Amino acid sequence: MLSTGRAVTSPARAAQHRFMGAPRTVVFLAGDHGKRAAASVAARAAGSSHPAVCLEAAAPWSMDCVAAPATVSHEESVRQVVLKQAALAASTTPRKARLAGRDAGVLDAAFARCGAVCKEYAKTFYLATQLMTPERRRAIWAIYVWCRRTDELVDGPNAAHTSALALDRWESRLDGVFAGRPYDMLDAALADAVAAFPAVDERPFRDMVQGMRMDLAKSRYATFDELYLYCYRVAGTVGLMTVPVMGVSPGSQADVETVYAGALALGVANQLTNILRDVGEDARRGRIYLPQNELATAGISEADIFAGRVTDEWRSFMKGQIARARAYFQQAEQGAAELNQESRWPVWASLLLYRQILDEIEANGYDNFSKRAYVPKAKKLAALPKAYLRSLMPPPSQTRR
């Protein structure tokens, strides 16, 4: 059963009216349009006057994906967010005075704790952050820890007790972080990180909390566009949070939008991969993170999934889903190559490692019901030097022009 869980009709209608009555021209970029068009939309979106942006920002219930205006896909509204984030990249507006003196010692301890958490849960990524400048590295750890704590609200040991109210409180705490009023030590580390990197915007953080709300309310995805919105919120947002910290290579001639779009694509690719790996595990929790319309077209029923039937239909369906995830990895590569050299290693490591999970699903004969695809330790270790070599290559845009 599609669980929408909320009364969407009236706010959706209201927004639709607001949308239709919007005095500004609506610009939608479908498909791959030119840089100039993207730049002009970015400029518009930066002023928050773009109707698609306003709609998405003003309509948190739009996660229900039921009555959004038919002309605006979620992919399109996410694209508007990306353009806006890219337009903020040059932002240097200071946020608040950073802590000094005795407080600085407390902060050092907070960042050290963030590093320890990152080391414990994401070893390879942690190792690969060692080449980054200390200020960048610790900011990345603080972001990682905030994302992990957010995810734990719906996926951690206490998840059964997480209510919508708990997420509201978590979001208020986030406001405090961005206003320079952190709640605890780990929040203080993030507050300092976002003060040091003013191009880090609160929007992707709020969107991630919204992704957690989706997980509380929804266990089915009608179309890929709905699933895409989920992937953006729970993983693509990480890319948008971290790119301003990682920085673009000084030699890069690429548009900053390409880098942000690549970062989003890596999050989406990782999440799609995670979903494909965990189909069986999720089904046992009553969840199916696969587009229902595509399942129907392939002739696969929910009963097939709950019974874990690896049929020809399933194998061919999986081939299509894997190809789609690989296309996002490919787009991510274009962004990764343009990052600051010392920030590239962890990104390549994450990309190469996670992409290998797709190969393992294939090697398991597409049985992701009873087998969990994982990358053997030796292959994991081999990815690190490979990622390092990739990170040494200059940005393609630099050599192209």
Angle 25-26-28 (CA atoms, 0-180°, nearest 5)? Answer: 145
Q: What is the DSSP string of 190-253?
A: HHHHHHH-TT--HHHHHHHHHHHHHHHH-SEESSHHHHHHHHIIIIIHHHHHHHHHH-B-TT--
CB of 350 to ligand GRG, least distance (A): 5
Smallest distance, ligand GRG to C-beta of residue 332, A? 5
For ligand GRG, give the closer residue by CB, 99 or 339. 339
CB of 263 to ligand GRG, least distance (A): 4
How near is the Cβ of 69 to ligand GRG at its closest, in Å?
29
Cα-Cα end-to-end distance for the chain: 53
Q: Is 341 in the site for ligand GRG (CB under 6 A)?
A: no
**262 touches ligand GRG (CB under 6 A):** yes
Rounded-to-integer distance, Cα 273 and Cα 269, Å: 6
* 166 alpha-carbon distance from chain centroid: 21
Question: How far is 258 from 32, CA to CA, in rounded Å?
Answer: 12
Q: Build a one-symbol-per-residue string for 51-90: x at contacts with ligand GRG by CB under 6 A, - elsewhere.
A: ----------------------------------------
Q: d(Cα 13, Cα 224) in Å, to the nearest integer?
A: 23
Binding string, residues 230-259; x marks residues near ligand GRG by CB under 6 A:
-----x--xx--xx---------------x
Q: Cβ 270 to ligand GRG, closest distance in Å?
A: 4
Sites for ligand GRG among residues 342-381 (CB under 6 A): 347, 350
The binder of ligand GRG chosen from 267, 283, 289, 352 (CB under 6 A): 267
Angstrom distance (rounded) from CA 253 to CA 287: 43
Q: Which of residues 96-135 bind ligand GRG (CB under 6 A)?
A: none
Return the residue of 150, 210, 271, 292 that touches ligand GRG, per CB under 6 A: 271
Our CB check for ligand GRG shows the closer of 11 and 280 to be 280
Give the whole-angstrom CA distance, residue 336 versus residue 27: 28
If the CB atoms of residues 51 and 262 are measured against ligand GRG, the closer one turns out to be 262
d(CA 48, CA 80): 10
Least Cβ distance, residue 280 to ligand GRG (angstroms): 14
- What is the DSSP secondary structure assignment for residue 288, as one 8-state letter? E
Which residues does 323 contact at the CB level (< 8 Å), separation at least 6?
none
CA-CA-CA-CA dihedral for 10, 15, 21, 22, to nearest 10: 170
Nearer to ligand GRG, 53 or 339 (CB): 339
Q: Which of 40, 219, 223, 274 binds ligand GRG (CB under 6 A)?
A: 274
User: Which range touches ligand GRG (CB under 6 A), out of 29-37, 185-193, 287-295, 330-338?
Assistant: 330-338
Query: Smallest gap, in angstroms, from Cβ of residue 96 to ligand GRG?
Result: 25
* Cβ distance to ligand GRG smaller for residue 174 or 263: 263
- Taking the least distance from each CB to ligand GRG, the nearer of 300 and 332 is 332
Distance CA 13, CA 67 (A): 8
Asked if 387 is part of the footprint of ligand GRG (rule: CB under 6 A), the reply reads no
Cβ-defined contacts of 94-99 (< 8 Å, 24+): 94/195, 94/198, 95/178, 95/180, 95/194, 95/195, 95/198, 96/179, 96/180, 96/191, 96/195, 97/180, 97/195, 98/192, 98/195, 98/196, 99/188, 99/192
Binding flag, residue 335, ligand GRG (CB under 6 A): yes
Binding mask 201-220 for ligand GRG (x = CB under 6 A): --------------------
Torsion of CA 49, 55, 59, 65, to 10 degrees: -160
Single residue of 266, 300, 318, 358 touching ligand GRG by CB under 6 A: 266
Single-letter amino acid code for the residue at 119: K
Residue 297 CA: distances (Å) to CA of 291, 310, 324: 10, 16, 16
CB closer to ligand GRG, 252 vs 292:
252
Q: Does 332 bind ligand GRG (CB under 6 A)?
A: yes
Q: Which residues in this chain contact ligand GRG in the complex, by CB under 6 A?
A: 235, 238-239, 242-243, 259, 262-263, 266-267, 270-271, 274, 332, 335-336, 339, 347, 350
